[in-house]
């Protein structure tokens, strides 16, 4: 497994792979890897001849007062996980490489970024779109894989790729959960033992909503109220949002007559956790 830190070297590697007719699969990450990332790599391994994983904690997607400095990092463990997942290259650029001096370009995906996490994190998706576009330009993938846990991020990237005519196939990979239902996330490490118990209310709430949906309930209001009630029983949980949205536009819907995503964000202690399920016939 190679570790590449420079943009030029990464581009040269990808160019050489492409000219040998190899298909490049790419998994962008911010490190502190877990089984959810391993699953993305596993899928990437199947789809590409060459598998590249980036590890870069992107400063521009964190707002003021968010956890950029404290974001967990563990290079040795990450490198081990990548090696055992059959990764060919870890691309680990510095912030200076990615954001050169005088940098002044931005990418705005104007609509699907507004609702859900966009309300409390108004600059987040601009940072995500920008860094993902940059990472695509460095790694030159044919296919890139993203977790469905960050559902809005996946929709934003799909929109950007379409809008900018990027010749890259975007694959969404289902959320990987701990045995007790908690969606895997690098930020779960912020949870104390008690908070982790409370955090189970997120997946419990979503499972209950899915059950009601399967029994025929189509009112978003009813499903939202059910989920809120389950989560709000936990003293340390502060619900930021629970919403039901169209899976493409991410606009709120009242009656579920087309495929919808039920998405939520909840603050538990210091951790802001997100989760979602797709509701469709």
Does residue 187 sit in helix, strand or coil? helix
CB of 14 to ligand PAF, least distance (A): 17
CB of 124 closer than 8 Å to CB of 29: no
> Which residue from 89, 79, 128 is spatially nearest to 10, judged by alpha carbons?
89
CB of 223 to ligand PAF, least distance (A): 26
CB of 175 closer than 8 Å to CB of 60: no
**Which of the following is catalytic: 34, 35, 37, 124?**
37
CB of 150 to ligand PAF, least distance (A): 5
Q: Is 265 in the site for ligand PAF (CB under 6 A)?
A: no
Segment holding 110, helix H or strand E: none
Q: Extract the tokens encoding 237.
A: 């949980």
Which of 150, 195, 234, 275: binder of ligand PAF (CB under 6 A)?
150
> Which residue from 254, 245, 255 is spatially nearest to 117, judged by alpha carbons?
245
In the window 197-256, what residues touch ligand PAF (CB under 6 A)? none
Judged by beta carbon, residue 132 or residue 250, the one nearer ligand PAF is 132
How many whole angstroms separate alpha carbon 266 and alpha carbon 232? 10
Judged by beta carbon, residue 118 or residue 234, the one nearer ligand PAF is 118
Residues making up the chain, counted from first to last: 281
Q: Is 132 in the site for ligand PAF (CB under 6 A)?
A: yes
Q: Is 126 in the site for ligand PAF (CB under 6 A)?
A: no
CB of 151 to ligand PAF, least distance (A): 11
Judged by beta carbon, residue 58 or residue 243, the one nearer ligand PAF is 58
Would you call 37 a catalytic residue per the annotation? yes
Q: What is the residue whose two structure tokens read 């389950």? A: 230
Q: Is 133 in the site for ligand PAF (CB under 6 A)?
A: no
Does residue 100 sit in helix, strand or coil? coil
CB of 47 closer than 8 Å to CB of 57: no
How many whole angstroms separate alpha carbon 235 and alpha carbon 175? 26
Which of 7, 128, 156, 220: binder of ligand PAF (CB under 6 A)?
128
How many whole angstroms separate alpha carbon 102 and alpha carbon 56? 20
Judged by beta carbon, residue 17 or residue 61, the one nearer ligand PAF is 61
Q: Which residues pair with 266 in a beta bridge?
A: 239, 273
Judged by beta carbon, residue 150 or residue 234, the one nearer ligand PAF is 150
Between 29 and 58, how does the x/- string for binding to ligand PAF read (CB under 6 A)?
A: xx---------------------------x
Judged by beta carbon, residue 132 or residue 271, the one nearer ligand PAF is 132
How many whole angstroms separate alpha carbon 149 and alpha carbon 183? 7
Query: What residues act catalytically?
Result: 37
Q: Which residues bind ligand PAF (CB under 6 A)?
A: 28-30, 58, 61, 128, 131-132, 150, 153
């Amino acid at each position: 497994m190679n570790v590449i830190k420079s943009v030029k070297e990464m581009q040269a590697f990808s160019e050489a792979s492409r000219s040998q007719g190899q298909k490049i699969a790419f998994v962008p990450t911010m490190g502190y890897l877990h089984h959810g990332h391993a699953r993305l790599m596993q899928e990437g391994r199947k789809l590409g001849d060459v598998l590249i994983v980036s590890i870069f904690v992107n400063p521009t997607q964190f707002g003021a007062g968010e956890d950029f400095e404290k974001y967990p990092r563990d290079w040795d463990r990450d490198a081990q996980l990548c090696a055992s997942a059959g990764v060919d290259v870890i691309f680990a650029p510095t912030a200076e490489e990615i954001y050169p001096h005088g940098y002044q370009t931005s990418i705005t995906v104007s609509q699907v970024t507004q609702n859900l996490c966009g309300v409390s994190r108004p600059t987040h998706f601009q940072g995500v779109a920008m860094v993902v576009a940059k990472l695509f330009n460095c790694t030159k993938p044919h296919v890139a894989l993203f977790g469905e846990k960050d559902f809005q991020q996946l929709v934003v990237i799909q929109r950007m790729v379409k809008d900018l005519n990027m010749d890259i196939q975007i694959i969404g990979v289902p959320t990987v959960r701990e045995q007790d239902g908690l969606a895997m996330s690098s930020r779960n490490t912020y949870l104390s033992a008690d908070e982790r118990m409370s955090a189970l209310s997120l997946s419990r709430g979503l499972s209950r909503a899915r059950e009601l949906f399967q029994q025929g309930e189509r009112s978003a209001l009813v499903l939202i109220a059910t989920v809120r009630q389950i989560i709000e029983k936990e003293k340390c949980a502060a619900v930021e949002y629970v919403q039901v949205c169209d899976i493409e536009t991410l606009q709120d819907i009242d009656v579920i007559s087309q495929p919808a995503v039920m998405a939520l964000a909840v603050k538990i202690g210091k951790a802001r956790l997100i989760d979602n399920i797709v509701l469709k016939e």
